Amino acid sequence: MCGIVGYIGRKSAIDILLEGLTSLEYRGYDSSGIAVNIDGKIKLYKAAGKLQNLKDIVDKDYREVSKSTIGIGHIRWATHGAPTVENAHPHSCNCGRLAVVHNGIIENFKELKEKLEKKGCVFRSQTDTETVAHLVAAKFAETKDLTEAVRLATKEIEGAYALCVIHQDVKDTIVATRRNAPLVVGLGEGENFVASDVPALIQYTKKAMYIEDNQIVTLTPDTIDLIDIDKKKVNQKFETLPWEPVALSKMGYKHFMLKEIHEQPDVVRNVLSGKLRAIDEPIVLKEVTLDKEKLKNLSRIQIVACGTSLHAAMVGKYLIEDFCGIAVDVEPSSEYIYRKTITDKNTLVIGVSQSGETADTITAIRQAKSRGSHILIVTNRPDSTMAREADSLVPVNAGIEVSVAATKSYMAQLISFYLLAIYMAEVKGIKDLETLKHELIILPQKIEKILAHKEEIQKCARTFANSKDFIFIARGINFPTALEGALKLKEISYINATGYTAGELKHGPIAMLDESMPVLSILMTGKVYEKMLSNSEEAKARNAKMIALTDSTDSNLYELFDSLIHIPPISEILSPALAVVPLQLLAYYIAEFLGKDVDQPRNLAKSVTVE
Ligand code: F6R
């Protein structure tokens, strides 16, 4: 989703801004822009579409633009108004002396706009953000103090925002603030940085400070001032970021998605490291602070998440109910927050989020927290808003994920749920999970085997790449795998793919089957194997093109299925963590075959910071 970067120092700002925006590109966007100060005048450069379009425009004016040692930049994921040049950020006021970039949504922008228009402000875009530009400009006209102008403006703004503002009358100053949207400041020597996310500044500094809601930060090349909304000075807490810039390189892979799929064996090892020490030792989850007596007496668990994280949560439900006998509800965060949900202090609420910044999930956990529930967050970003608001944390350690389509972060979430479910079972005194622990330890080798022999998957991708629709069926613990396989395929190839529980096929979806419809059965040996075979027969009888993803070596399967994708044998309970890998690869090879923009699929954003 939208991204912000700001630089102030003694170097030319333009390359730093463009590189910062490039490193945020993976989040998904549809226009971009920058504001710089050339010879004392604010100048805006904006473009619709890819960042390269902005770079081309800037290139034409490079000698001029490169004079500026201050600037703010933005990539926009359209919410209010189409992704056009006029709606691209930065936005300005009537006099053009100020520039604003914004992530989030200004909820009361209509009322603000009406008031501002009555005062003579002329709006040039359809965005909610432009109201902020006019509002801050009006406050600046009264106060002649940019920090104060931003502070007063935020008192009138409702909604979610991270904002960066520059004004040509206040040379060498950037003012930034946030509410319900991430913002981080990077400390340099004779220069300072601000961004909506770490990748934009990690190559320049590792010293960073996360800005909290309603704080206002004022940057000059040599100073950083931090105040709260009541003008009180706030202690500045800088930390050293653990990230390496190399994490953003494709390391020879054609796409980040392919690289991230291949990182999964190491991701599993990382997640297990220090937590699963030996099969006869209990799981260690240091950041889970829920009192063990309370854990034993939990009446229910609710898990909230969106998209791929929701699928990991569904596997988590299966595991916790199976191992611990505690009732678990899983719900999309966006539904959870708009109905009367029953939670109390004996309910554990788990939020799952790769980014830790998904607006719906943040709202869901805040609601649950206000009702007294303990909040446990499973996230890949221990520096995120969710992690900072959590009572307990399960950091998933997947490393930064650049491709919009989540792969390794899903794997890390799954493994974290295995650990959490075993941990809870052990706290409750259930101790027969040693075989599963052993299987978890050897899982990376099995994933490596799949990655080393991708021929069946590539062949299947070539055969079915031109399909208009795709159905994935599964039962039991692999139903979420079917949903995830379908989600990956539709996200990056734009093929209409749907996951069904195989038993539901005959209650409606079977009507769609004919010789043009591929049906992929997730056919793992175990309790539901025979039933899956029967459901596959039913689909075959309607002439569907049948694909099996299986750990069975039964050669009779060649009679029922047109294509087979084999994976190493695995217990049914752990099979979601192995079965998803070929499905990620299938989606990848189909999208690649179709020439799609694999890492940045249209309309999607990596971090969805609006509800
Ligand atoms: C799919 C994908 C999305 C996210 C969803 C939630 O590949 O990445 O479906 O899973 O937007 O995001 P997080 O996990 O950051 O809360």
pLDDT higher than 60, residue 538 = yes
For tokens 């220069």, the residue is 191
pLDDT at 196: 92
Above pLDDT 90, what percent of the chain? Answer: 85
Which strands form 192-195's sheet, in the order they lie side by side?
41-48, 31-38, 70-76, 3-8, 192-195, 184-187, 207-210, 239-240
Q: Residues 261, 209: one domain?
A: no
Q: pLDDT band at 608, cuts 50/70/90? A: low
Domain boundary among 449, 482, 508: 449
**Where in the sequence is the domain holding 516, given as residue range(s)?**
457-593
**Cβ atoms within 10 A of the Cβ of 553, count?**
9
288 and 165 within one domain = no
Examine residue 154 and state whether it is found in any structural domain, yes or no.
Answer: yes
Residues having CB within 6 Å of any atom of ligand 1 = 306-309, 353-355, 358, 361, 405-406, 487, 491, 607-608
pLDDT in tens, 337-363: 888 888 877 899 999 999 999 999 999
pLDDT digits (tens, 9 = 90+) for 216-229: 999 999 999 999 99
* Residue 603 located in a structural domain: no
Is 611 part of a structural domain of the chain?
no
What integer pLDDT is reported at residue 603 of this predicted model? 78
Q: Are residues 129 and 97 in the same domain?
A: yes
420 occurs within a structural domain = yes
pLDDT for 249 equals 73
* C-alpha closest to that of 152 among 233, 231, 235: 231
Respond yes or no: is residue 606 known to be catalytic: yes
- Considering the domain architecture, whether residues 94 and 194 belong to the same structural domain is answered as yes
Half-sphere exposure of 586 (CA within 13 A, CB side): 32
Contact at 8 Å (CB) between 198 and 184?
yes
Q: Are residues 525 and 578 in the same domain?
A: yes
Res 549: pLDDT: 98
pLDDT higher than threshold 60 for residue 450: yes
**Residue 544's domain is classified under what CATH number?**
3.40.50.10490
Number of domains present in the structure of the chain: 3
C-alpha span between 487 and 485 (Å, rounded) = 6
pLDDT of residue 246: 57
Task: Give tens-digit pLDDT for 106-115.
Answer: 989 999 999 9
Share of the chain above pLDDT 70, in %: 98
119 tagged catalytic: no
Q: What is the CATH number of the domain that holds 51?
A: 3.60.20.10
226, 261: one domain: no
Q: How many CA atoms, within 13 angstroms, populate the side-chain half-sphere of residue 358?
A: 26
> First and final CA of the chain: distance in angstroms?
12
Q: Which of 385, 415, 449 is the last residue of a domain?
A: 449
Judge whether 230 lies within some domain: yes
- Report the C-alpha gap between 90 and 477 in whole angstroms: 47
Cα of 494 from ligand 1 centre, angstroms = 17
- Same domain for 35 and 138, yes or no, is yes
Residue in 166, 175, 75, 89 with CA at minimum distance from that of residue 126: 89
Strand-pair category, 374-379 with 347-353: parallel
Residue owning the nearest CA to atom 4 of ligand 1: 307
Q: Which two tokens stand for residue 505?
A: 């096929």
Which amino acid, 24? L
Q: What is the pLDDT of residues 544-596, one digit of tens each?
A: 999 999 999 999 999 999 999 999 999 999 999 999 999 999 999 999 999 99
CB burial of residue 560 (10 Å; 0-12, 13-18, 19+): middle
Q: Using alpha carbons, select from 18, 69, 19, 45 the residue that is nearest to residue 173.
A: 69
| Tens digit of each residue's pLDDT (9 = 90 or more) over 51-100 | 999 999 999 999 999 999 999 999 998 888 889 999 999 999 999 999 99
Last residue in a domain, options 420, 449, 478: 449
Assigned domain for 606 exists: no
- In the reported structure, the alpha carbon of residue 309 is separated from the centroid of ligand 1 by a whole-number distance in angstroms of 6
Distance 171 CA to ligand 1 centre (A): 40
Domain shared by 391 and 520, yes or no: no
**Alpha carbon of 476 to those of 305, 319, 499, 529: distances in Å?**
20, 11, 13, 10
Please tell me whether residues 80 and 99 are part of one structural domain: yes
Same domain, 409 and 278: yes
Question: How many angstroms is it from 455 CA to the middle of ligand 1?
Answer: 29
Residue 113 lies in a domain: yes
pLDDT at 609 over 60: yes
pTM of the entire structure? 0.81
Q: Which atom of ligand 1 is nearest to the CA of 608?
A: 11
Q: What are phi and psi of 97, to 5 degrees?
A: -90, -5
What pLDDT sits at residue 317?
98
Do 382 and 517 lie in one domain? The reply is no
Q: Whose CA is nearest to atom 11 of ligand 1?
A: 307
What's the pLDDT score for residue 358?
92
Residues 340 and 236 in one domain: no
Who contacts 164 (Cβ-Cβ below 8 Å, separation ≥6)? 4, 6, 72, 100, 101, 174, 175, 176, 194
Task: Write the secondary structure of 221-262 as one string of H (helix), E (strand) and C (coil).
Answer: CCCEEEECCCCCECCCCCEECCCCHHHHCCCCCCCHHHHHHH
In whole angstroms, give the CA distance from residue 536 to residue 533.
5
